[in-house]
Structure 1
Amino acid sequence: MSGRAQTLRWRITRGLILFQIVAFVVLSVIMLGLVFHASFSGVIVSGEAGRAVAASIVRNDDGALVVRPTESLQAIREASPAFWFIVEAEDGARAMSGAPPAFALNMIDDAPRLKAMDMRSAKDDPSLTAKFERRSGPAGELVLLVGGGAFISDFKATLLLALMVIVVPVTVLILLTLAIVPAFVRRSLASILDVSRQVAQIDYDSRGRQLPSNDLPDEIVPIIEGMNEALSRLDAGIEATEQFFMNAAHELRTPIAIAQLRIDALPDGPDRDNLRQIIRRLSAMAHQLLEIERFRQGSLTHDRLDLGEILSGVVADLAPYAVARGYDLSLDKPEQPVRITGDRESLDRMIINVLQNAVQHGDGRGTIAVRLYPSGIIEVQDEGPGIPLEDRSHVFEPFYRRNPHGAGAGLGLKMVRDIAQAHGGDVAIVDGSFGATFRIRLPVQHGQSTP
């Protein structure tokens, strides 16, 4: 199984089948002991003889029993010329064939007191070996006494008995085990499968989540309780870590501001420019850490908003910033409102971060185009070098920067993704004719037109 442990239901099934096979072997050994203990020279009348006789007995028009040999009875007679039988119906009518010994006539008179019997000859006289039994046939319920032929050895009889009482039942039991036990175990473990699905859904944003332990087998409950305790410890550790970063970001703002003042007082030159770039990066990182933590700890509002209005406001606010760095900034939006439900402050921050990213990585030239579609899709495209395919899966990770020497902290696009997903949407980098194109998809309100 490629190094993977078998499922519990197949382990249980395999164990049950192994037990049944062992039981089968033990019973077979016992039966074989009985076979070898039996007299190999002994014989008994086979059950087939009684079936053949019962099928050959019919009634004539007068209601008397007559013999109409079937092919089976005819074959027995040809193989055993000394074969004989006596038949008696419930109304006392009798039929006879061959030369029954004297004891057979006396025994048939005692038929009401007998059910079944095998008789063996004490001497080497096959005519005395007989079988008494009751069977149904065309003539109704019959008592039969047959003998003198249709013999089978004790050895074969014992093997047939073993087949009927051991091999067939055990085979049927194994097949039933294969068919029923896996489904039964799977149903019994349904609660465990449900817990495993919940475990698969746990991620960084699932803090405070606990796994249910009700309806679980007693053997599994300690494992789930241990996992819940571990989750609680992880929650506490993550909470402490995030609180530390938030406090650190707060504390850094004052020394960063002081450092900025000191650097501004330095004489112009390459050293002051380098220090300013470092301070800008530290300031951006501290600010974005605070923004991310505030977003995580805050609760989103669910206001009815117009995406076009939000974009217009953000583009107007950032236009001087973009123009000062060599860009033109354009906005293309529908005339009709594009209605969504969301948090205005978070959505503002999402658009600002995407536009700031375009300004930082657009090579300081060309147009940054912002497009809004009636379906709730926002596209921001620059005319810079674009983003290589191998980097696209990483740009939304925290602290990832394509240019290690740039001013960004590597947190802005992570926040864009978090805000989009918190509103039921997503963000992706798509191929365009030039530059980099970020596509944000947000769910519009019901009734909003789509392209």
Structure 2
Amino acid sequence: MQTITLSVAATLLTMALLQLDPTQRLIDATLSETIAQSMQRAPDGSLVLSPNKQLDAYRAESPDVWMLVVDEAGNTYREGPVPEQYELLQPILNRLWFVDIRDHGEPHSLSAAFYTGETPIGKLHVLAGGGAFVSIVFAGILLGNIFILPLLVVLIIATVIAIPLIVRKVMRGLDSAEAQARSINFDQHGTRLPLDTVPKEVRGLVSAMNEALSRLDEGYDRHRRFLADAAHELKTPIAILQTRVENLDPGPERTRLLTDTARLAAMAEQLLDLQRLAQSRVDFQPLDLVPVAERVVADHAPLAISAGYDISLRAPEPSQWVLGDRGAIERLLTNLVQNAVVHGGNQGAIEIEMAGHGAFEVHDSGPGIAPEHREKIFEPFYRIRPLDRGAGLGLNLVREVLRQHGGSIAVLPSHLGGVCFRVQLPIATAPN
């Protein structure tokens, strides 16, 4: 727009200059103003001309410079060869406010410049001529520059102020699309960027991004269905294997097989739990943690004891009420206990402690977890050591349950020598 505006203005100016006659000359308008500023008053009130360098320059260039000056009181001053045609203007010169006289014939002796305005000695009216000519083409170029200069100022203002405001307004739709894009994460599917608010210049890019998001959602759904189907199909052969192992003669080999079979069953159940969490809504109800912990400890005591652990529950208070889903909290505690069984070193103790105010802790006497791994262990399939046991899903499931419940988990050193997982859940009031 700026280029077009300047091009049109330059074209119009050039066309106007081409219409001018280069042989025509204009009197320099500053001559009459210079004379007005050079006028002084004599003691008797008459008008006199004081020395002026600019006026001397005019005279040096054009010796025939003439002037006719009148003040408001009718006092006059004249100098030089004033054309007799202008003698008649002297009585009425102080009544004029604009005069433009051009002589189109050589030597342009009738061309005159007029000035009226306030000076240090009062208001004066000056008619002058006889020299200081300028080409009409030069005058046109000067006037054209005077015309283009404000245009340039307007364009600069538009560049500095107007254009950023316009761009900000046009791109405002991108802000909402950006905010929507930042809100997209692995757990939110079906989200698309808005098309109606973005500028049409980037609408194709946003549409392509929405199509990519659709393909990602479809791929995620296929992946989720595959995991759910695979976990479901694995449960039957694992159950058959567990039954056959239980029928073996007692001994160390049977114990190891039972432990490995239990890990397989836990892995399949964890995969199913992750799919249930992704597909179902959590039913938040007041829940007593103590009976839930008692049930988990009772269910896992045979497995823990056979693996070489002493397992116990410490609950100083008979009840501890939190707000949550019973099944999800039970799966959370189950995975923490199974994690202690798998990684505790097959010796020592596993302890579940009700810490009060919606918190509980799971301790073990294993090798512990280094500080640099304490955040990463909640990522799916993350293992501290490449040959470490377990699938790396249990702690990820714990984090997902806590995220849905608005709870938190901390990894701390345990008083048993291993690691302590401290879980905090929202507190609930015991029902009447």
* Superposition TM-score, scaled by structure 1 size: 0.71
The one-letter code of the counterpart of 1:236 is E
3-state secondary structure, aligned to 1:395: helix
- Distance across 1 between alignment mates of 2:246 and 2:199: 69
CA pair 110-306 structure 1, distance change in 2 beyond 3 A: farther
Match of 2:268 among 282, 286, 293: 286
Unaligned runs of 5+ in 2: none
CA pair 155-325 structure 1, distance change in 2 beyond 3 A: same
Shift of residue 328, structure 1, vs aligned partner: 5.1
- Distance across 1 between alignment mates of 2:310 and 2:87: 123
CA pair 226-205 structure 1, distance change in 2 beyond 3 A: same
Query: Equivalent pairs: percent with the same residue?
Result: 35
Instruction: Check conservation: 1:284, 1:408, Cα contact below 8 A.
Output: no
- Distance across 2 between alignment mates of 1:133 and 1:348: 101
CA pair 372-150 structure 1, distance change in 2 beyond 3 A: farther
1:436 matches 2:414: no
3-state secondary structure, aligned to 1:207: coil
Aligned counterpart, 1:410: 392
Shift of residue 151, structure 1, vs aligned partner: 6.1
CA pair 18-297 structure 1, distance change in 2 beyond 3 A: same
1:362 matches 2:362: no
Deviation digits for residues 296-345 of structure 1 (CA, Å, limit 9, x no counterpart): 22111122345677556655665665455444556677869876533232
- Distance across 1 between alignment mates of 2:424 and 2:47: 92
1:181 matches 2:163: yes
The one-letter code of the counterpart of 2:102 is M
Aligned counterpart, 1:352: 334
1:343 matches 2:325: yes
Aligned counterpart, 2:79: 98
Aligned counterpart, 2:100: 117
Structure-to-structure mapping, 1:361-440, within 5 angstroms: 361-368=343-350, 370=352, 378-403=360-385, 405=387, 407-430=389-412, 435-440=418-423
Aligned counterpart, 2:229: 247
Instruction: Please say which of residues 156-165 and 407-416 is displaced more in the overlay.
Output: 156-165
Shift of residue 191, structure 1, vs aligned partner: 1.4
Instruction: Check conservation: 1:44, 1:154, Cα contact below 8 A.
Output: no
- Distance across 2 between alignment mates of 1:104 and 1:445: 107
CA pair 79-262 structure 1, distance change in 2 beyond 3 A: same
Instruction: Check conservation: 2:174, 2:198, Cα contact below 8 A.
Output: yes
3-state secondary structure, aligned to 2:113: strand
Return the index of the structure with the highest Cα Rg.
2
Aligned counterpart, 1:166: 148
- Distance across 1 between alignment mates of 2:318 and 2:36: 95
* Superposition TM-score, scaled by structure 2 size: 0.73
Number of residue pairs aligned between Structure 1 and Structure 2: 421
Instruction: Check conservation: 1:314, 1:351, Cα contact below 8 A.
Output: yes
